Amino acid sequence: EPEVTQTPSHQVTQMGQEVILRCVPISNHLYFYWYRQILGQKVEFLVSFYNNEISEKSEIFDDQFSVERPDGSNFTLKIRSTKLEDSAMYFCASSVLGGRAGETQYFGPGTRLLVL
C-alpha cells in the first residue's frame, strides 16, 4: 500500500539555522500539506499546496516558512531561521484531490525537529 514518507525522522538544529524537511507524497496525489504538533499540543495545520502554489496557510505559516515541490516526487518545508518554539513533530500529508468535501488526507510518520 502506498505511503507518505518523510526524512529525516529526527533533526536537531541550532537556533537561527535553516532546516529543510522532506516528504514524498503518494504518487498520484495532487494536494500536499504540512501540519505540526508541538509536544503536548494538538496537531495544527500549517499549509496546503496544489499545482505549485500555496492554496491555504495558517497564521503560523509566516515568512520564515516556505514550501516547495522541487521535482516530481518531493515536497519540502523550509524553516529559514529556526526558533526554539519551532521544536515540534512535523507531519506531511497528501490527498488525491482537495478543495472539496471530505477528501481524505494520508499522513507520513513525521519528522521530530528539536531546536537548541
Q: Strands (DSSP E) along 14-87, which ranges?
A: 19-24, 31-37, 43-50, 53-57, 65-68, 75-79
The nearer residue to other proteins, 79 or 110, going by C-beta atoms, is: 110
Cα angle vertex 41, ends 5, 104, to 5°?
45
11 and 17 Cβ atoms separated by less than 8 Å: no
The nearer residue to other proteins, 44 or 69, going by C-beta atoms, is: 44
**Piece of 13-21, 65-73, 79-87, 88-96 that binds other proteins (CB under 8 A):** 88-96
56 in contact with other proteins (CB under 8 A):
yes
Backbone angles phi, psi at 75, to 5 degrees: -135, 125
Selected binder of other proteins within 65, 79, 98, 113 (CB under 8 A) = 98
**Piece of 11-19, 66-74, 76-84, 103-111 that binds other proteins (CB under 8 A):** 103-111
